[in-house]
Amino acid sequence: MPVDHFPSTHATWIDAQLTIAEDGDRAAGSGDAVGRARAEDARNALRRHVMERYTTALGAYVSATGLRSAGERDELVSGFYVGPLTDERFFARWRQSGMPLRRWLMNAMSFHCRGIARNAARERARTEDAVSPGRPGVVGMHTVPASEGDAADAFDRAWALALVNEAYARVQAELADSGRSVEDEVMRMHVIEGMPYDAVADALGLTRADCFNAARRVTARVREAVRELLREEGVPNSGLDAGVREVLRLVERA
């Protein structure tokens, strides 16, 4: 049975889907076809989650490495989705690893691309040997690979930006639902567009203090939304503060 790295009192959405998949697999092992369907539905939900949140980061990782010779960026990412990500044990092995999800995905993408590059190199060698028998084939890639650190940085920056954008979208929806969209306007005008509070206040018919307090509330809520997203990804409570700081640092670099 997979090791449970998520305390039951802090179960995340991802953990819930994994539990559904595992329970469904056990039921399917006893001949329950409905259990098999439940397991597949849960795994498909996890795959959609990865596609929605990590496509940009995975593309950035591929683009920053020497693995581009293995194929076009979008083709490599799509191939990862219809290849390794469809393995029934993919997410269970991640949970057993104890690694952050983004690191697991990045490593899996690296193995996927390198496997494609090796196969392409072998095929080129066979082709060249068939054309010129006895001539050593060229094994390897035709580009100079970037450092793995550069590629990981590109992945992390893209991931952090996507995470903050998702957090901000959640907060925007909350503000709209509660009739407080003006606070979102303050945040957008001051933080994103760089307008001073006095100009924002004049434009929206508010006081400077109103704008300052609104921006502070929204900023705090966005930080909390980032915490929620990190918790959903399995970051333990003890690591959430450091995780939020890391995300915000990466966004500043991006």
% of residues, the chain, pLDDT over 70 = 83
Same-domain check for residues 13 and 139: yes
Which residue has tokens 């690591």? 239
* Domain containing residue 205: 148-254
147 compared with 140, residue with greater pLDDT: 147
- For the ranges 70-84, 140-154, 158-172, 208-222, the lowest mean pLDDT is seen at 140-154
Instruction: Label residues 229-248 b or e (16+ Cβ within 10 Å = b).
Output: bbbbbbbeeeebeebbeebe
Same-domain check for residues 43 and 162: no
Q: Per residue in 213-229, pLDDT tens?
A: 999 999 999 999 999 99
**Global model pTM greater than 0.85:** no
Dihedral sign (CA 254, 56, 12, 217): positive
The mean pLDDT value of the chain amounts to 85
Alpha helices (H) along 64-147 = 73-82, 90-97, 101-131
Position 1 pLDDT exceeds 60: no
Q: Per residue in 167-197, pLDDT tens?
A: 999 999 999 999 999 999 999 999 989 999 9
Position 142 pLDDT exceeds 60: no
Same-domain check for residues 94 and 43: yes
Same-domain check for residues 72 and 135: yes
- For the ranges 13-27, 117-131, 179-193, the lowest mean pLDDT is seen at 117-131
123 compared with 184, residue with greater pLDDT: 184
pLDDT of residue 233: 81
Average pLDDT over residues 62-72: 72
Position 150 pLDDT exceeds 70: yes
pLDDT of residue 133: 59
Same-domain check for residues 139 and 152: no
Tokens encoding 94:
């991640």
CA proximity to 90, closest of 50, 126, 31: 50
pLDDT of residue 70: 62
Asked which of 87, 116, 146 is the last residue of a domain, the reply is 146
CA angle 142, 73, 140 (to 5 degrees): 20
pLDDT of residue 9: 32
Residue 136 pLDDT class (50, 70, 90 cuts): very low
pLDDT of residue 195: 97
Asked which of 86, 115, 146 is the last residue of a domain, the reply is 146
Same-domain check for residues 98 and 224: no
Q: How many domains does the chain have?
A: 2
Average pLDDT over residues 140-162: 73
Instruction: Fill in the amino acid letter for 2.
Output: P
